[in-house]
Amino acid sequence: MRHYVAEAFVAVTDAPCVAERICTWIRDFCGAIVTEGSDRILTFEDGRAIIRMTGDGLFFRVSARNLVATYGIRALIEGSLWKLASSSAMSIKLFPPMASHFVWSTSAWPTDTAE
């Protein structure tokens, strides 16, 4: 089970293009990138990130086995957003799910228990 989780929403224009550019930018660090509908699931050795596209931006969910992996995945995403997205996405803050303003359905995300 992954204990370290962070979520965020970042308003960007042309979310599908930004999501694709993020995946292209960090693909060498991922074990796999899977597309499920409008979601991009990025799998890493010790965690995963899910990017969900919406009409007005991107939802992110990062989960990992340990704090170092969590911050590493977050740094990849935040760094790619800083480099690739418009100036409207320059202020990025991921929050623990308990402090998140977003409600996620348990069926919306792949389980974090599969290893």
Section 58-80 average pLDDT: 89
**Of 107, 97, 93, which is closest to residue 10 (Cα–Cα)?**
93
**Cβ(11)–Cβ(5) below 8 Å:** no
Q: Map tokens 């939802």 to a residue.
A: 59
pTM of the full structure: 0.73
How many beta carbons lie within 10 A of that of residue 5, not counting itself?
A: 18
Q: Where are the alpha helices (DSSP H) in the chain?
A: 15-26, 67-84
pLDDT at residue 32 in the model: 94
pLDDT higher than threshold 60 for residue 9: yes
- d(C-alpha 65, C-alpha 3), whole Å: 6
Q: pLDDT tens for residues 96-110?
A: 555 444 444 333 444
pLDDT at residue 109 in the model: 43
Q: pLDDT tens for residues 16-62?
A: 888 998 999 999 999 999 999 889 999 999 999 999 988 888 888 99
